[in-house]
């Protein structure tokens, strides 16, 4: 495929070689025979049936020039020599041997092309000497060498170009495969990290359930109301834990190879945004953070997801926007959704969310986990924006359930 070429050239390149070679042979036969009929006889025999047969012998084998280049060359040169020895037009049937020589140079090693050029040089020298009998042999030989050399050079150039094209095609295929493998590894590693983080979330829920179960058992006889509240908390917490596990199993297809030292660290959330913003601010960019609405407790997994998205967006600001960039963070607690927006006025370029950039791939995976929507891209006035929105789950109070004891977290 000729990328970047006009449509007509691309369509021509897609024609089967056998069809193209057959068309070339027919074209040369017809033009040679018409030329012999139209041009009057001047020092040579007029066109007749034997000359037509020899014209066919010289040009018809070109239809098989790619399959048997050596045989085609021998037949074409032999036919041309006989044609000229019989006294027919000295200017005709010279191109067939040249095309055959070009084919040898384009599809066979250079050494073979140099050897095959010798009969072509002899044929052209003989034809040139017939054209101007008084021309010295060395002049005709020089002309034959020049023409044959051009055919060999063009053929060798085409062969080299085809070889380079095949190499580039192979390299492009390998690069595409490596990019797909790298993207797959990035997604797999990010999912493994999400699995570790969700492990902490589930462990948190189980801890709450364990403590509330112990409390309920302790006060079951003396304080039935407290015991019922503990059971309600257990029911709500276990439901959230099951939802987290259901999300986990819906996206993960591999298990982590092993646990590291950070597996049981405290899971961060939006309440840890101020320290994060302060650290980034000390690194150079100026940051303004705004919280709209009334902050309320979020499920630990969603809380962690929102924190990680803001963290990754600020990391991209440090990498691409420059130290003098101004950043705005807006966290909106709406009744039905949670919205995050991180914008900067830097001038660096970043990969789109759908391809490239392992951090942005991780953001997309996290947002899909919680049925959210994320967009990331440059702003018309300059800078970059990352925006995410999540459906907000109902709180325990809205369900008529007591708050989870914060001491259990």
pLDDT at 332: 94
Averaged over 13-30, what is the pLDDT?
82
Residue 330 clears pLDDT 90, i.e. is over it: yes
The tally of domains found in the chain comes to 2
More confident residue, 22 or 218: 22
**CA atoms within a 13 Å half-sphere pointing along the CA-CB vector of 405:** 16
CATH number of the structural domain spanning residue 287: 3.30.565.10
How distant, in Å, are the alpha carbons of 31, 46, 58, 93, 166 from that of 37? 10, 8, 17, 14, 45
What mean pLDDT is predicted for residues 168-184? Answer: 89
Alpha-carbon span 239 to 50, nearest angstrom: 97
19, pLDDT greater than 60 = yes
pLDDT computed for residue 355 by the predictor: 40
Q: What is the DSSP string of 221-246?
A: TT-HHHHHHHHHHHHHHHHHHHHHHH
**For residue 352, pLDDT beyond 50:** no
30 assigned to some structural domain: yes
Expressed as residue numbers, the domain containing 19 is 7-135
| Domain annotation covers residue 251 | no
Band (pLDDT 50/70/90 cuts) for residue 231 is: confident
Band of pLDDT at residue 406, cut at 50, 70 and 90? very low
The reply to whether 244 falls in a domain is no
Query: Tokens 């101004």 identify what position?
Result: 326
The whole-number average pLDDT for the span 270-292 is 84
- Domain membership of residue 263 (yes or no) is no
Q: Are 320 and 346 in contact (CB under 8 A)?
A: yes
pLDDT at 363: 76
Q: What is the pLDDT of residues 26-85, one digit of tens each?
A: 998 888 888 877 776 566 677 788 888 888 998 999 998 888 899 999 999 999 888 888
Give pTM, 2 decimals: 0.45
Domain finish residue from 74, 105, 135: 135
Token readout for 97 is: 């041997």
The reply to whether 191 falls in a domain is no
Would 200 be classed as within a structural domain?
A: no
pLDDT, position 42: 65
> Does residue 166 belong to any structural domain of this protein?
no
> Where on the phi/psi map is residue 231: left (φ > 0), alpha (ψ -120 to 50), or beta?
alpha
Q: What is the per-residue pLDDT for 268?
A: 73
> Over 60: is that where the pLDDT of 346 sits?
yes
Taking only the tens place, the pLDDT of each residue in 247-262 is 666 655 444 444 444 4
> Whole-angstrom Cα distance, residue 393 to residue 333?
11
pLDDT at site 390: 92
Please tell me the predicted confidence (pLDDT) of residue 327: 92
Mean of all residue pLDDT scores within the chain: 77
User: What's the pLDDT score for residue 254?
Assistant: 47
pLDDT digits (tens, 9 = 90+) for 373-391: 999 888 888 889 999 999 9
| Final residue before a domain boundary, out of 113, 135, 157 | 135
pLDDT of residue 73: 92
Average pLDDT over residues 84-90: 82
Return the bridge partners of 388, or none: 340, 374
Q: pLDDT: is 404 or 332 the higher one? A: 332
Is 409 domain-assigned?
Answer: no
Q: How confident is the model at residue 312 (pLDDT cuts 50, 70, 90)?
A: confident
- Between the two ends of the chain, the Cα-to-Cα distance in Å is 62
| Start-end of H helices in 317-373 | 358-369
Considering 120, 135, 150, which residue would you say is the last residue of a domain? Answer: 135
pLDDT value at residue 156: 87
Residues 6+ positions from 321 with CB-CB distance below 8 Å: 285, 327, 344, 345, 346, 347, 348, 383, 384
Quick one: pLDDT at residue 43? 62
pLDDT greater at residue 362 or residue 286? 286
Average pLDDT over residues 205-212: 71
Measured CA distances, 298 to 100, 190, 202, 306, 391 (Å):
79, 22, 14, 10, 11
Q: What is the pLDDT of residue 259?
A: 43
pLDDT at 190: 73
Q: What's the pLDDT score for residue 236?
A: 74
Q: Does residue 397 surpass a pLDDT of 70?
A: no
> In Å, how far from its chain's centre is CA 99?
39
Q: Tell me whether residue 103 is exposed, middle or buried, using C-beta atoms within 10 angstroms of its C-beta: 0 to 12, 13 to 18, 19 or more.
A: buried
Residue 201's pLDDT band, with cuts at 50, 70 and 90, is low
Do the beta carbons of residue 233 and residue 213 sit within 8 Å? no
């Amino acid at each position: 495929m000729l990328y970047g070429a006009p449509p007509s050239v691309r369509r021509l390149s897609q024609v089967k070689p056998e069809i193209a070679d057959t068309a070339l042979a027919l074209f040369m036969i017809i033009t040679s025979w018409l030329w012999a009929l139209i041009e009057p006889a001047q020092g040579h025999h007029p066109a007749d049936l034997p000359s037509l047969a020899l014209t066919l012998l010289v040009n018809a084998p070109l239809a098989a020039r790619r399959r048997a280049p050596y045989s085609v060359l021998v037949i074409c040169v032999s036919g041309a020599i006989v044609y000229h020895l019989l006294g027919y037009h000295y200017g005709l049937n010279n191109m067939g041997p040249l095309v055959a020589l070009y084919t040898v140079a384009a599809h066979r090693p250079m050494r073979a092309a140099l050897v095959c050029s010798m009969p072509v040089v002899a044929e052209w020298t003989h034809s040139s000497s017939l054209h101007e009998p008084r021309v010295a042999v060395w002049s005709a030989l020089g002309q034959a060498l020049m023409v044959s050399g051009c055919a060999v050079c063009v053929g060798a150039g085409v062969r080299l170009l085809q070889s380079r094209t095949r190499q580039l095609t192979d390299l492009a295929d390998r690069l595409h495969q490596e990019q797909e493998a790298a993207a797959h590894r990035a997604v797999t590693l990010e999912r493994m990290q999400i699995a570790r983080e969700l492990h902490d979330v589930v462990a948190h829920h189980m801890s709450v359930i364990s403590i509330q179960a112990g409390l309920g058992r302790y006060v079951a006889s003396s304080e039935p109301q407290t015991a019922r509240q503990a059971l309600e908390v257990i029911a709500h917490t276990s439901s959230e834990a099951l939802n987290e596990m259901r999300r986990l199993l819906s996206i993960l297809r591999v298990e982590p190879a092993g646990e590291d030292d950070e597996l049981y660290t405290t899971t961060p959330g939006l309440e840890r945004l101020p320290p994060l913003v302060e650290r980034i601010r000390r690194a150079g960019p100026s940051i303004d953070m705004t919280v709209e609405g009334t902050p309320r407790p979020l499920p630990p997994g969603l809380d962690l997801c929102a924190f990680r998205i803001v963290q990754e967006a600020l990391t991209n600001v440090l990498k691409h926007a420059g130290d003098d960039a101004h950043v705005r963070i807006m966290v909106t607690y709406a009744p039905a959704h949670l919205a995050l927006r991180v914008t900067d006025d830097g001038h660096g370029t970043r990969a789109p969310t759908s391809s490239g950039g392992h951090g942005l791939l991780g953001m997309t995976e996290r947002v899909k986990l919680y049925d959210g929507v994320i967009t990331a891209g440059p702003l018309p006035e300059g800078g970059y924006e990352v925006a995410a929105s999540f459906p907000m789950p109902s709180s325990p109070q809205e369900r008529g359930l007591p708050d989870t004891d914060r001491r259990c977290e």
